[in-house]
Structure formats: C-alpha cells, structure tokens
Amino acid sequence: MRRIQILAVEDNYADVHWLKMLLDRMGLVYSLSVVTDGEKAVDFLLKRKEYEKAPEPDLILLDLNLPKLGGIDVLRAVPNFDQMPFCVVTGSERERDYLKTHFGIRRLAYLVKPLDRDRLLNCFRCYAHLRPVAEELARG
C-alpha cells in the first residue's frame, strides 16, 4: 500500500489524536500534516509563506469550526477547491445541504464527528485515487 498524505485542518488536539488512533488501527500507511486554523489551511493549500514546500495532500480533512477563517471560508479562498480531495469533518449535520448546494461536497464526504472506520473509508471512496486504498483496507 502506498503512503497517503493527509492534511487535517483541525484546531482540537483531541480530534487530531483520535484521527491518528483511527488511521493507525485501520493499518493505513500515511503522513499527516496538521494546521490549526483556516488562514494556515489556505496558506498550506496555496503553498504560501511557511508552507511553500508543503506536500500535496491526497486527502484534506477540513473542520468547519476553525479560528481565523472557518471551513466554508477556506473553501471560498481556495480557487480550485473543487479539484481537491476535501472531506468536511464537523460536529453537526447543520451545514450538509449548504455545502452540497454551494460547493458540491458529496454526502459521503461530509463526516460528522466522531470519525469512525466506515465513514473514513466512504470518504476515501469519493475520490478515484483513494478508492483502491479504501478497498484494500476494507478487505484486510
């Protein structure tokens, strides 16, 4: 299995810890970058400032409730967001329809916390380059 580069845009360290535990239990081979606010997320994705040499993420887990810029503002600030592998991670169903209508975020790419294996695998399946990884993890 190839190494998956994941960007977690999350300000809650407990949620980042839970994500790491989940990924490890799933047996995923991964590298994890974490940014803790929306401004840093935009800089990371646009490779600005300290993130000029940031790795290209295979998957972006975007919390909606962030300091400085919220997740929706991050999507608005990234010109080619629709070509990026975003999965929204949030504590409520509240924004699901809005994100689908305005940003095309698919149902399976909208994850309500706490994350679990099945939700994360379904998120992987939203993106062609991650489907083989999801199927390999699902089998084993």
Residue 29 lies in a domain: yes
Percent of the chain with pLDDT strictly greater than 90: 74
pLDDT of res. 1: 65
Residue 94 lies in a domain: yes
pTM confidence score: 0.93
Residue 77 lies in a domain: yes
Residue 140 lies in a domain: no
What confidence tens digit (pLDDT) does each residue in 96-113 have? Answer: 888 888 888 877 788 888
Q: Which residues of 83-106 are buried (b: 16+ CB within 10 A; e: fewer)?
A: ebbbbbbbeeeebeeebeeebebb
Full domain range(s) for residue 29 = 4-135
Total domains in the chain come to 1
Q: Where are the alpha helices (DSSP H) in 8-93?
A: 13-26, 38-46, 71-77
Return the CATH number at 72: 3.40.50.2300
Radius of gyration of the chain (CA): 14
Strand residues in the chain grouped as ranges (E): 4-9, 30-35, 59-63, 86-90, 110-112
